[in-house]
Amino acid sequence: MADSDPAGLEQTINQASEHHQAGRLDDAAALYRKIVAAHPGHCGALVQLGVIDYQLGRVDTAFTWLHRAAAVNPFSEAVAFTLGELLRLQGRLDEAIPNLMQAIELAPKMAVAHNSLGAALQAQGRLDDAVASFGNAIAQDPGFADAYNNLGVVLETLGKLDDAIASYEVAVEQRPDFAAARGNLGIALLFAGRPEPALAELERALALQPGVPMTISAKGHALQALGRLDQAIECFEAVVALLPDTPKAQEDLANARRARG
């Protein structure tokens, strides 16, 4: 793959991207390494090698590739965002936030960077700043379901339950198969004293993603609030089976059985 063959380079990049999207990580990595061997300063290939190694659990190697990409192009929003996001996922928030802020400075309309910054700020307990960042993500991409769901979580933590419910509702409207957002919406509706619509959302969430203990437990509480104790007990029994060492699960089951008499 010579410098004089841009068509060949583009074809290799496309093939590598297809392998990556299809989950054939080793095949994708082999092609990206081929690109880097011929073009040591190819920032995009270096970034993708970092992402793939991270996906494969090779964290140290992943950051080596990304730092190499940053050395090649310190003003790349893709490098800054990817480095910041992977640092966030590692819990290295003090390092992640400056990189995510740099990505936003370089590309102010990058909605995913605003969303990731919000998640990092939320993890630090900076909830008002997180709300602002999720709002910025939504402003740049009004169809960004993840940002609406994340915003809902923070609003709920801040005690703004009605606003949280509204945010979750937009998330599931934008992406009807968004199981986590449906679960969050159901739980928020339950907290708001609306067990009937809560139950409907929780059942939709479990149809999309069965076996989630928190969602099953919330469904049990909704059923109990509606007086459907036998079904509630079945839910609490399922949670105890999934989480046998969790006192709260045992307590919920005991309370429901006591309520049944």
pLDDT of 5 higher than 80: no
Distance, CA of 51 to chain centre: 16
pLDDT (0 to 100) of residue 235: 97
Please report, for the domain that includes residue 196, its CATH number.
1.25.40.10
* Burial (CB count <10 Å: 0-12, 13-18, 19+), residue 124: middle
* Average pLDDT of span 204-220: 97
Q: How sure is the predictor about 37, in pLDDT bands with cuts at 50, 70 and 90?
A: very high
pLDDT of 1 higher than 50: no
Q: Looking at the domain assignment, is residue 114 inside a domain?
A: no
SS3 labels along 42-66 = CHHHHHHHHHHHHHCCCHHHHHHHH
Residue 100 CA to residue 229 CA, distance in Å, equals 48
Q: Looking at the domain assignment, is residue 146 inside a domain?
A: no
Residue 184 CA to residue 182 CA, distance in Å, equals 5
Domain count, the chain: 1
Q: Looking at the domain assignment, is residue 232 inside a domain?
A: yes
Distance, CA of 97 to chain centre: 17
Q: What percent of the chain has pLDDT over 90?
A: 94
Domain housing 258: 176-261
| pTM for this predicted structure | 0.90
Q: Looking at the domain assignment, is residue 243 inside a domain?
A: yes
Q: Looking at the domain assignment, is residue 159 inside a domain?
A: no
Torsional sign, CA 251, 252, 257, 259: positive
Torsional sign, CA 14, 17, 21, 27: positive
pLDDT in tens, 83-98: 999 999 999 999 999 9
pLDDT of 4 higher than 80: no
Q: Looking at the domain assignment, is residue 152 inside a domain?
A: no
Residue 49 in contact with residue 33, Cβ under 8 Å?
Answer: yes
